[in-house]
Amino acid sequence: MDSIFMKIIRREIPATIEYEDDEVIAIKDINPVAPVHILIIPKKFIPTVNDASEADAALLGKMILTAKKIAAEKGIAEDGYRLVMNVGKDGGQTVFHIHLHLIGGKKLAFETA
Ligand code: 5GP
């Protein structure tokens, strides 16, 4: 299976890479909603959270800890930020390769929709 994020991981499509290791890549969102908007993406292709299994538990945790590290590097850890994973069409997911949004750098309104 493939996704636009797999193409970015393979360097077939350009992106601004903020962090990368063997398991995850973090890129600037192409359409940022806040001064800091970074996507933390596993290199393993998992379409949605619904497709994740117990075997992915460490990888999912790694995504959160990667976001935490980047937030500190960006200087937004103390003021706070938001971590979001959209799931499926009603959850607003548009790229079907799981990713964690790290959003911050301004006071965020509480939004449910
Ligand atoms: P979703 O709606 O699936 O939770 O989030 C997908 C995110 O990926 C969106 O915020 C969108 O702006 C971003 N995005 C989609 N295509 C690309 C791309 O080609 N490059 C980058 N850097 N971000 C993308």
Share of the chain above pLDDT 90, in %: 95
CATH, range 4-104: 3.30.428.10
Pocket test for ligand 1, best of 9, 25, 31 (most atoms within 8 A of CB): 31
User: What is the pLDDT, as a whole number, of residue 113?
Assistant: 73
How many CB atoms lie under 10 A from the CB of residue 108? 13
Read off the tokens for 112: 């449910």
**Token representation of residue 102:** 């790290």
C-alpha 75/C-alpha 71 separation (Å) is 6
Q: Which helix (H) or strand (E) holds 101?
A: strand 100-104
Nearest to 20 by CA among 8, 4, 36: 8
In this predicted model, which residue has the larger pLDDT, 112 or 74? Answer: 74
Q: Where are the domains of the chain?
A: 4-104
1-25 pLDDT, tens per residue? 789 999 999 999 999 999 999 999 9
- Stretch (H or E) spanning 25: strand 24-28
- Say which residues have a Cβ less than 8 Å from residue 64's Cβ, sequence separation at least 6: 83, 100
CA 29 to ligand 1 centroid distance, Å: 6
**3-state DSSP helix/strand/coil % of the chain, to nearest 5:** 25, 20, 50
Chain-centroid distance of CA 23 in Å reads: 13
CA–centroid distance, 95 to ligand 1, in Å, is 6
pTM recorded for the entire structure:
0.97
